Amino acid sequence: MSKNIQLIMIRKMKRIALVILLGCLFVVPESIGQDRIFTYVYQSLVLNKGQKELEIWTTYRTGRNDYYRRMDARFEFEVGLSKRVQTAFYLNYKGKAIGHLEDTLMIVDKKNSFSFSNEWKFKLSDPVANTIGSALYGEFTVGLTEFKLEAKVILDKRIGRVTQALNLVFEPEWEWEPVKDRMEVETKYEVELNYGIGVDLGNGFTLGLEARNPNVYQDDGGWTHSAIYVGPTFSYFRNDFWINFTFMPQVAGLRGISNNSILNLNQFERYQFRLLFSYVL
C-alpha cells in the first residue's frame, strides 16, 4: 500500500473519530430522563402525563450576626397532568434557633412552624427541540401565621452535555405577628434572579454551579436587603430516583451589609446547604 493511500486512510479515520467525538459531546442521549439537575434553579421540563414523584427537600442555613440555625423540610408529591402541565402538593416544616444576649446570658429562642403549598408549572417550549426552553410557575403557601405567593419565569437551554437555566422570581409574603393586644401583618416582597449551569459527566452524574441574587423590599423601608450567593451543585440519577446537592455560600452583600463585613448577615445566612431526593412512584 502506497504512502499516499495510507495518509488518505489515516485522514479519513481521523475525520470519522472527530465526528464520533462531536456526536458524543453534542448529541443528547435519549436515556437522559431527569427533569431537574439543580436544587435552587428550576428547569422548564415537566413530568409525563400520569407520572408521579415523591420528593424530599432539606435545607440547612447558618451564619448570621447572632447565633442562628434554621432547618427547612419539604415533602412533595408531584404529578404530571399533560405533556405541558404538572402540579405538586407540599407539607412544609420550618425550624429556627435564634440566640441573643440578656445580661451576659445567651438565650436561645426556638420556633417551629408547618404549612401547606400547592404548585403549578406550565411548559411553553422545550430546551432541546426549541431555540430556548421556557415555563411559567406559580405556587401558594398557607400557614397558621403566614401566606405566601411565588411566581417564576423559567428559561433554560440544553446544548450537548451542557444545561443552563435562568429564573426570575417574584415572591410576596404576608406574616402576622402579635404586638401587645393585637396581631399585625408584616408585608414584604422578594425578587430573585437565579442562574445555573451543569455539565453531564455521563453515567448519571452532573456537576455544575448555581448563583442566586435575592432582594427584599419592605413596606416600611424600601429595598432593604440584597446579596449574592454562588456555589457548586452535584446531581446523580438513575431510572427511578435522583439526588441533588448544593452548597451555597454568600459571597457579597449588596444592601443591608453588616458592620465590618462585606456580607449581609442581618437578613441572609453566610452558608446554605440543600439536599433533594426524588423517587418515581
pLDDT interval class at 239 (50, 70, 90): confident
Q: What is the mean pLDDT of residues 89-108?
A: 80
User: How far is 52 from 249, CA to CA, in rounded Å?
Assistant: 33
Could you report the per-residue pLDDT of 155-169, keeping only the tens digit for each?
999 999 999 999 999
Computed over every residue of the chain, the mean pLDDT equals: 87
Which ranges of the chain would DSSP assign to H, the alpha helix?
3-26
Cα 110 to chain centroid distance, Å, stands at 26
Residue carrying the nine cell digits 440547612? 60
Is 50 in contact with 88 (CB distance < 8 Å)?
no
Q: Looking at residues 55-74, what average pLDDT do you find? A: 94
Question: CA 41, 199, 14: angle at the middle one, nearest 5?
Answer: 155
For 230, the 3-state DSSP assignment is strand
pLDDT above 90 covers what percent of the chain?
Answer: 72
Per-residue confidence (pLDDT) for residue 103, from 0 to 100 = 58
Strands (E), the chain: 52-62, 68-80, 85-102, 105-125, 133-143, 146-159, 162-179, 182-202, 205-218, 222-238, 241-255, 271-280
pLDDT for residue 108: 72
Listed residue (215, 280, 275, 281) closest to 74, CA to CA:
275
Mean pLDDT across 157-185: 92
pTM of the model: 0.84
> How does 271-280 read in b/e, with b if 16+ C-beta sit within 10 Å?
ebbbebebee
**100-103 long-range contacts, CB within 8 A, separation 24+:** 100/66, 100/67
